[in-house]
Homo-oligomer: A and B are copies of this chain.
């Protein structure tokens, strides 16, 4: 035994085989502090691989940690290149129309969507640890940038300032993302639970689809708000402005896109049909407009796109008030949301291909690509689900497919931009709607309802908040409900009575196991959460009520009166000083009623604190047992040999609060 001084010897006379409950050996404060810091921030022990290595090897491993390309690059084969080439070209064909569409959603010049598919994928290819993530802009973050920056600066009245604010916001988003990764605070993203993301994505998709009514119906004036009521009012108040040419064109293309998606879903082999469909609609739409001159009959087109690669934009950052606050706020919120999507997508595909990605490393990669991107006329990028799924289905092997996409986009920027002059906006709207419909995951919501009602409430809170108020409100509602749930778990822990499973020394919840038998004269309670300040008052009330109810029950049936109360502490992970006070009060209450308080199986942390606060001496160390079975055995032994000594130790003079 490690340190015999701190382990109580067995003092139970009745039975030499009972096991003593150990107080863990004390640790120096700084050692235990270091350990908990390590568990909190480095649960994955990233320095593990550096052990017992030479300094130069350590340096190389460190470089590899931040640039995974150094790891997979040397092992890259021609086979890989072939697969990456195909998938890279496939995602480029999706990236070009999507990039232009999402830039319009953010009220930014369409060309920015192409710029953003050129530089960031190159950075990610070097730094990212996912093999399947395809980098690009996303609808939700684009919409958010549009609505948050739009509150401060009008994009049509002051396009230059608006553009510069978008770069600044992207810069801060990247800064936040990289810092979270470097500071190992990645767990903040975990607070966006699965249920939150389902509701939030569905709500955001609904909002984005509603926004497309402007493009589909060819409306010139439209509300700045994103909530469903404002948008529908805006649409139906100008029925006379609807353009039927635009509407028909949009409906036809949307039908085509949905059909191709449906077909690809039925036959996964033909994934490329749905992947190529957006580019096809763009080409068909542009041709149609070019041939019919529909741009002169109410069908809006993209117009001129500047030829050439990304111009530098690091001189454009706006660091002056009052715009700085808006930029920082927009950057923070969109940065977190983009990060959550990127990491969730990366993790899902990694799980599927049996490799694992490091959340903190991914954050540094995504953050760096946004910082660099913001210096070269890109706005916020991450790993969108749709594009990454296409990448995955196209058989990509490494992040090289991002490089292929970037080269394809570069080629487009250098030579092909004039071809988009006649692309009708309504086609872009159809592309967005078709992509967004896939994000409304009503099946997941039904699953949540079936499995966990609370998660369903979180999900619907996010959805309703996003659709009826705004994207930020929805997010705040969902996170607040989720955190409230955690707090409620601690504030209102389950307590339940245990009974004896027939022919065993096992004690389990009477509710879960209806075959269990009561133990005469003994009440066994299990507390199912740590005992903290937030629940100590509740637990005191609830325990008193359990004892009252048990005594009433025994009185009505005329059975043996209650003599012992055993707390099963197995599930009590920790206790604080308020919790210890609660136990002291419960001890007084039971003493007064002539009951004996017994503890079963307190864990290491709990024993340590009970020892330091002298509660072990108050209760008597002979009343702490290793298992409920041993505690019951000891109580039964004493019950049948002598009455418990109901000491009245609580008549000490009052000294302080």
Residues of A within 8 A of B (CB): 1-3, 19, 22, 24, 29, 33, 39-40, 43-45, 187, 190-196, 268, 344-345, 348, 351-352, 354, 356, 359, 385, 389, 392-393, 441, 443-444, 447-448, 450-455, 482-483, 485-494, 501, 504, 506, 508-509, 511-515, 528-530, 532-538, 541-542, 544-545, 570-571, 573-574, 576-578, 580-581, 585, 588, 592, 603-605, 607, 609, 612-613, 626-627, 650, 653-654, 656-657
- Residue among B24, B345, B515, B656 making CB contact with A657, cutoff 8 Å: B345
Per assembly, the copies of the chain total 2
Decide if A578 touches B195 in the complex (CB within 8 Å). Answer: yes
Contact residues of A: prevailing secondary structure: helix
From the candidates B187, B344, B534, B538, name the one contacting A486 in the complex (CB within 8 A).
Answer: B534
Bound-complex Cα distance A117 to B389 (A) = 72
Partner of A451, one of B448, B603, B612, B627: B612
CB-based contact A452/B489 at 8 Å: no
> In the assembled complex, how far is the CB of residue A485 from the closest CB belonging to chain B, in whole angstroms?
8
A428 CB → nearest B CB, Å? 24
Residues of B contacting A489 in the complex (Cβ-Cβ under 8 angstroms): 490, 530, 532, 573-574
Among the listed B187, B492, B574, which residue makes an inter-chain contact with A537, where contact means beta carbons less than 8 Å apart? B187
Chain B residues near A570: list those with CB within 8 A: 570-571
- Given A190-B534, A451-B580, are A654 and B392 also a contact pair (CB < 8 Å)? yes
User: A448-B577, A494-B605, A533-B482 are known contacts. Are A514 and B190 too (CB-CB below 8 A)?
Assistant: no
A541 and B43 in contact (CB under 8 A), knowing A533-B194, A570-B570, A626-B506?
yes
Using A452-B576, A533-B195 as known contacts, say yes or no to A528 and B653 having CB atoms under 8 A apart.
Answer: no
Q: Which of B452, B492, B506 meets A43, CB within 8 Å?
A: B492
Known: A29-B453, A508-B626. A514 touches B187 (CB 8 A): no
A-B contact pairs, 17 of them (CB 8 A): A2-B514, A43-B538, A43-B545, A44-B542, A187-B534, A192-B533, A193-B532, A194-B578, A354-B592, A447-B577, A451-B577, A451-B612, A455-B578, A487-B487, A494-B605, A506-B627, A571-B571
B494 contacts A490, C-beta separation under 8 Å: no
Question: In whole angstroms, what is the CA distance A544 to B358 when docked?
Answer: 13
Is A538 in contact with B187, judged by CB distance below 8 angstroms? Answer: yes
From A501, which residue of chain B is reached at the shortest CB distance?
A: B19
How far is B616's CA from A451's CA once the two chains are assembled, in angstroms? 13
User: Quick one: which of A22, A441, A605 has the most chain B CB within 10 A?
Assistant: A22
A-B contact sample (7 more), CB < 8 A, given A24-B512, A193-B534, A452-B576: A1-B514, A43-B542, A196-B533, A345-B657, A508-B626, A529-B530, A529-B573
Q: Which residue of B lies closest to A572 (CB)?
A: B571
- How long is the Cα–Cα vector from A441 to B655 in the complex, in angstroms? 12
CB distance from A351 to the nearest CB of B (A): 6
Q: A43-B542, A453-B29 are in contact. Are A573 and B486 (CB under 8 A)?
A: no
A211 to B573, CA, bound (A): 44
Per the bound structure, the CA–CA distance linking A441 and B512 in Å amounts to 46
Distance, CA A217 to CA B441, complexed state (A): 71
**Please, which residues of chain B bring their CB within 8 A of the CB of A19?**
501, 504, 506
